[in-house]
Each structure stands twice: as structure tokens, then as C-alpha cells.
Amino acid sequence: MNTLTGRAAVLCLLTIIGCSCLKTALADEHETAFDESQWVPLALLSGQESLIPPAVAKLQNGLPINRRRAAFVLGQIGTPRALQALRGALEDSDRRVRIHAGVALAQQGVAEGYQGAKAALYEGPAWLKYYAIYGLNQIRDERALGLLEQNSCEGDPFLSRVVKAAQRPEPVQSARGPFYEQPLLAQDWAELLEIAARALAIECDTWFHGGDYDQAIRCNEATVFLQPSWVETYAASAWLQWSMNRHGAAISTYRRAIDANPTDWEAYFELGFYYMHHGHPSAAVEYLRQSVELGAPPISARSYAHALEQVGRLKQAFRVWQELDKIDQSGVVDSNLRRLEQLGAGTADGRD
């Protein structure tokens, strides 16, 4: 089976990043744990040679976005065969592919990746900057360390802490496995992306239980780079962000989920439910309406009816409950219909 060895493996990962206990809730809305001696990524795919063929095939012949994804995955594998393919990608016609290839090489301490890591540090998204910082730390020559000294990432508290940690005198390497009972096998590109994204999800869970929520978000961002259709991953990051009082970042994450999945009811529901939860039913109504129109199940569609009621559109709310009554046999619908009838929503002169 292509899985970690259950509970024992998860406990192993927790030990690797220095966790002394499990934390199941956010301890403080503004803080996240950070250990300067344990900040590097977990190389869960390290040495997985059997995953290389579909990655190399896509790196050489895929669309630019998939060539970037392939470079990222090969950087996680890190074997000589993977590095050989990445060196070839430094000559790719697409600059962003070259950057990703450089970051991937830098993570393995290959000096040829310096330029790509440098470019990513200046212009990449936050999650890629993290890997670039780690890569410069692994190259660890005079120019790489000098670049870290020059770029403190002051605008991003998490990356600022990572840059500072990366300049510590003692070298730090990613924890390496094997973490799996058997070699991982991918029959095709889609299966490879699934495996790589699941590995990141496991890493995310490890950081989360250790209390480092910024690292969890970083893992989620890398995950949706590989699997942009995973709405639940955007939602998990947004939940962490607003739980730490970063509401602007959370809303941006929810909106990116919609942009990447414009026909997925869940993407609209997540943003609508966020607005509901935070006392903005007027903003929630439009997103919840779209989620219903895109096929939200009854248990989720109820939120649309509640939002309509909260903004005083009782007759519309009543009609939504009537529609739900045709498919929802839970008993919840009847009580809400009766309540709205008592408020006059079922009459011609009811409030709308």
C-alpha cells in the first residue's frame, strides 16, 4: 500500500519537527509556533525513484504550468536522476519553468539552482519563496548566504522568520525517509500529482499539530499549485488565516478558490459561509445563491435560506425552504417553514 505506516509514521514526523505535544485548536488568534531550529520542509517524497518517469515526461513535453509542477515534484524526490532532468530544465523556453527548476535544484544543494532561487525570492509567491530560502540555505556558499542577508522579507512575518533561521551558522537539512512502507507508484501524470499533493497534505497536518500554522498554510499553497481543484485545501488555509485574525488574506484565499473553480458549488459556499459566520449576511447571500445554483446539497443550501432571512428577504427564504422540502426529509425544513409562516412570509403581504 502506498501510504505512511499509520499512527507510528505520523508520530515520527511530529518528533522530527520537534513537537512536544499535539495542539488541536488555535491557542492564540494572532500567533503561530515557530522553531528556528526546525523550519525546513519534510521531504516525504525523497528517493522515490519510481515517480520520476511521469514527472520527466511532463517536464519535457507538458504545458508550461505542468512543466513547473513537474520541476517541483522532482525537487521533492531529489535523486541524481531527478537532478539530471532538472538541470536540463534550466534551458527551458519558459522563464517560470527555469525558476522552478532552479529552486528544485537549490533544495538539493546544487549551486546551479542559485539563479532560479534568487528570482523566486524576488518575485515568486510566498510558498515558493519559502522553498527558495531553503534552497539558498542548502547551497550555502558566499553569494547564497549573502543574498539571504540582503533579503529579510520584512513584509511577511513568516518568511522573515524563515530567512533569519536560514542564516543560522549550523546547517539544517530536511528530514528524509523513507516514510512509506513500499515504493510509491504512479501510472500517469494525474496519479503523480495526486501522490505529491497527498504527501503535502500529510506534511500540512504534521505542522498543524505542532502549532506552526504558517507552515501548514505554506503546505496548502503548494498543494493547490499541484491540485487547484481541491477547494477544501483553500478552505483549510482560509480558516487558519481568519482564525489568526488575517481576514483580508482569508477572503483572498476564498476568492482564489472561486477563480480556480468557477463551476464548483463548494468554492462559492465557503466564501458565503465565511461571511455568514462573521456577521455579513448581505455579502453572503450572493455567494450562497451561486452555490445553490451550482448544485449545493440540501444541508449546505440551508445556509442560503438563513442568509436571506437575516437580510429581511423572508418570502424568498420561504420559497427556498419550500424547494428544499421536496428533497430534504430531515425534519429541519418543516420547522423553518412553520417559523417563517408565523412571521407572515407565506402570505401575499409577507416581508420580502
In a domain, 53, yes or no: yes
Q: What is the pLDDT of residues 94-135, one digit of tens each?
A: 999 999 999 999 999 999 999 999 999 999 999 999 999 999
pLDDT band per the 50, 70, 90 thresholds, residue 329? confident
Check whether the bond before 178 is cis (ω within 30° of 0). Answer: yes
Residue 175 pLDDT more than 50? yes
Task: Look up the pTM and report it.
Answer: 0.87
Spatial neighbors of 117 by CB under 8 A, at least 6 apart, are: 102, 103, 106, 132, 135, 136, 139, 144
Q: Which domain holds residue 70?
A: 33-166
Residue whose grid cell is 461571511: 275
Residue 212 pLDDT more than 70? yes
Residue 76 belongs to domain with CATH number? 1.25.10.10
In a domain, 256, yes or no: yes
In a domain, 172, yes or no: no
pLDDT band per the 50, 70, 90 thresholds, residue 57? very high
Instruction: Give pLDDT, residue 30.
Output: 45
Which range has the worst mean pLDDT, 3-7, 304-308, 333-337?
3-7
In a domain, 274, yes or no: yes
Whole-number percent of the chain with pLDDT over 70: 86
Instruction: Give pLDDT, residue 351.
Output: 54
SS3 for the chain, per residue?
Answer: CCCECHHHHHHHHHHHCCCCCCCCCCCCCCCCCCCCCCCCCCECCCCCHHHHHHHHHHHHHCCHHHHHHHHHHHHHHCCHHHHHHHHHHCCCCCHHHHHHHHHHHHHCCCHHHHHHHHHHHHHCCHHHHHHHHHHHHHHCCHHHHHHHHHCCCCCCHHHHHHHHHHCCCCCCCCCECCCECCCCCCCCHHHHHHHHHHHHHHHHHHHHHCCCHHHHHHHHHHHHHHCCCCHHHHHHHHHHHHHCCCHHHHHHHHHHHHHHCCCCHHHHHHHHHHHHHCCCHHHHHHHHHHHHHCCCCHHHHHHHHHHHHHCCCHHHHHHHHHHHHCCCCCCHHHHHHHHHHHCCCCCCCCCC
Instruction: Give pLDDT, residue 32.
Output: 63
In this structure, the number of other CB atoms found within 10 A of the CB of residue 226 comes to 22
160 and 238 in a common domain: no
Residue 301 pLDDT more than 80? yes
pLDDT band per the 50, 70, 90 thresholds, residue 22? very low
Category of 146 on φ-ψ map: left (φ > 0), alpha (ψ -120 to 50) or beta: alpha
Which of 292, 104, 156, 18 lies closest to 115 in space, CA to CA?
104
Which range has the worst mean pLDDT, 134-138, 172-176, 180-184?
172-176
237 and 151 in a common domain: no
Instruction: Give pLDDT, residue 143.
Output: 96
- The answer to whether 177 and 47 are in contact (CB under 8 A) is yes
Q: Which three cell numbers stand for residue 230?
A: 481541491
- Boundary residue ending a domain (166, 191, 215): 166
Instruction: Give pLDDT, residue 48.
Output: 94
- 340 DSSP β-pair partners: none
- Boundary residue ending a domain (166, 181, 212): 166
Residue 305 belongs to domain with CATH number? 1.25.40.10
pLDDT band per the 50, 70, 90 thresholds, residue 18? very low
Q: Dihedrals φ, ψ of 90, to 5°?
A: -65, -15
Own/partner contacts of 308-312, CB < 8 Å, gap of 24 or more, are: 309/340, 310/276, 310/281, 311/281, 311/282, 311/285, 312/351
157 and 258 in a common domain: no
In a domain, 14, yes or no: no
What mean pLDDT do residues 32-47 have? 81
In a domain, 243, yes or no: yes
Instruction: Give pLDDT, residue 35.
Output: 65
Count of domains for the chain = 2
161 and 62 in a common domain: yes
What mean pLDDT do residues 147-153 have? 94
What mean pLDDT do residues 307-333 have? 91
What mean pLDDT do residues 46-69 have? 97
Instruction: Give pLDDT, residue 106.
Output: 98
38 and 155 in a common domain: yes
pLDDT band per the 50, 70, 90 thresholds, residue 172? confident
- The answer to whether 102 and 90 are in contact (CB under 8 A) is yes
Instruction: Give pLDDT, residue 347.
Output: 66
Instruction: Give pLDDT, residue 181.
Output: 78
In a domain, 195, yes or no: no
Residue 59 pLDDT more than 50? yes
pLDDT band per the 50, 70, 90 thresholds, residue 277? very high
Between CA 115 and CA 205, with CA 48 as vertex, the angle to 5 degrees is: 85
In a domain, 18, yes or no: no
- Boundary residue ending a domain (134, 166, 198): 166
What mean pLDDT do residues 326-336 have? 86
What mean pLDDT do residues 187-215 have? 96
145 and 62 in a common domain: yes
242 and 148 in a common domain: no
Instruction: Give pLDDT, residue 21.
Output: 31
Residue whose grid cell is 519563496: 129
